[in-house]
């Protein structure tokens, strides 16, 4: 798979008109971050927030134009790769201080009808790729004695829902990987945590709404109210910028004792 990147390293700045606001202090000044699935949704918001905090951000996504555009806006470096091909991880930068494993895909179907190749693809993108990214980047963090790993998990890393066998499996596996890294990396000054949002207003969720409507034979409006947010006490979708704020907090200087944790942002879903 061909990769492309922009070699120029401009000062990081928040995207004009973007959802993330510049923090009071550049808590990540001089740091370098790598965000997968960074061209849209949660990944985009995370890249903007990290850049606003002073980090140089490597924007990793298969959507080339969107990745290039975002990298230009925030003074980052775009890497146009297809993470369904695990070997491409070896082309990504290894010397980073912050990793946000965010890339994800979805497919909705009953287990007995779920395409095995689609199941395997989801595991490659959402489990094997984070493993490979961390295998590549952790040695440098260990050498420097500091690092932050934030895995964008989901309420589905803590709970299950029907028709999402591959996604639920992958998110549970990501939770396990995150905890193992937390235990191994602690002595090196590196933390590893998951952020577990409920339904976030992203293109992936918009696609899920349409898929669920077809699966259940109901309208998209009913999917949001009756299916997606049925178990949530707060009846509104989460905004990507809210997730990014949680990620930025976990990457900051005052969270060094938070590791191996799963931060729920589910509107009360897991309180049931």
- 0.85 exceeded by the pTM? yes
User: Catalytic one among 142, 163, 167, 199?
Assistant: 167
Sheet with 98-101: list strands edge to edge.
77-80, 56-61, 32-36, 98-101, 147-152, 190-197, 262-265
Task: Flag whether 36 is in a domain.
Answer: yes
Q: Which helix (H) or strand (E) holds 197?
A: strand 190-197
The pLDDT of residue 263: 98
Task: Flag whether 15 is in a domain.
Answer: no
Q: Kindly report the CATH number assigned to the domain that includes residue 78.
A: 3.40.50.720
Torsion angle of alpha carbons 142, 147, 152, 155, nearest 10°? Answer: 90
- Cβ contacts of 243 within 8 Å, gap of 6 or more: 42, 45, 46, 152, 195, 197, 200, 265
Q: Residue 121 sits in which domain range?
A: 32-267
Task: Flag whether 9 is in a domain.
Answer: no
Tokens of 52: 């606003």
**Is 167 noted as a catalytic residue in this protein?**
yes
Task: Flag whether 272 is in a domain.
Answer: no
The pLDDT of residue 209: 87
The pLDDT of residue 163: 93
The pLDDT of residue 75: 98
Name the 3-class secondary structure at 212. Answer: helix
The pLDDT of residue 12: 40
Torsion angle of alpha carbons 80, 84, 87, 90, nearest 10°? Answer: 40
- Cβ contacts of 52 within 8 Å, gap of 6 or more: 12, 13, 14, 20, 21, 22, 23, 74
Q: How many domains does the chain divide into? A: 1
Q: Which residues in the chain show pLDDT less than 70?
A: 1-24
The pLDDT of residue 206: 84
């Amino acid at each position: 798979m061909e990769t492309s990147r922009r070699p120029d390293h401009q000062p990081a700045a928040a995207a004009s008109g973007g959802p993330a606001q510049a923090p009071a202090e550049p808590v990540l000044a001089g740091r370098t971050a790598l965000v997968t699935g960074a061209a849209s949704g949660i990944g985009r918001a995370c890249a903007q927030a990290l850049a606003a905090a002073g980090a140089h951000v490597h924007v990793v996504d298969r959507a080339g134009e969107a990745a290039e555009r975002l990298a230009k806006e925030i003074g980052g470096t775009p890497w146009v790769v297809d993470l369904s091909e695990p070997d491409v991880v070896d082309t990504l930068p290894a010397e980073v201080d912050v990793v946000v494993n965010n890339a994800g895909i979805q497919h909705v179907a009953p287990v007995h009808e779920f395409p095995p190749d689609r199941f395997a693809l989801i595991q490659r993108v959402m489990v094997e790729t984070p493993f490979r990214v961390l295998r590549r980047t952790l040695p440098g963090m260990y050498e420097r004695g500091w690092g932050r790993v934030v895995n964008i998990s989901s309420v589905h890393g803590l709970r299950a829902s029907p028709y999402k066998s591959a996604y639920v499996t992958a998110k549970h596996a990501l939770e396990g990987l995150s905890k193992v890294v937390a235990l191994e990396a602690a002595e090196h000054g590196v933390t590893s945590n998951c952020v577990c949002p409920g339904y976030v207003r992203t293109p992936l969720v918009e696609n899920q709404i349409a898929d669920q409507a077809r699966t259940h034979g109901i309208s998209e409006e009913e999917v949001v109210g009756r299916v997606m947010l049925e178990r949530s006490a707060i009846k509104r979708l989460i905004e990507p910028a809210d997730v990014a704020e949680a990620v930025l907090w976990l990457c900051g200087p005052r969270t060094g004792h938070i590791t191996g944790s799963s931060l729920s942002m589910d509107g009360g879903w897991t309180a049931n």
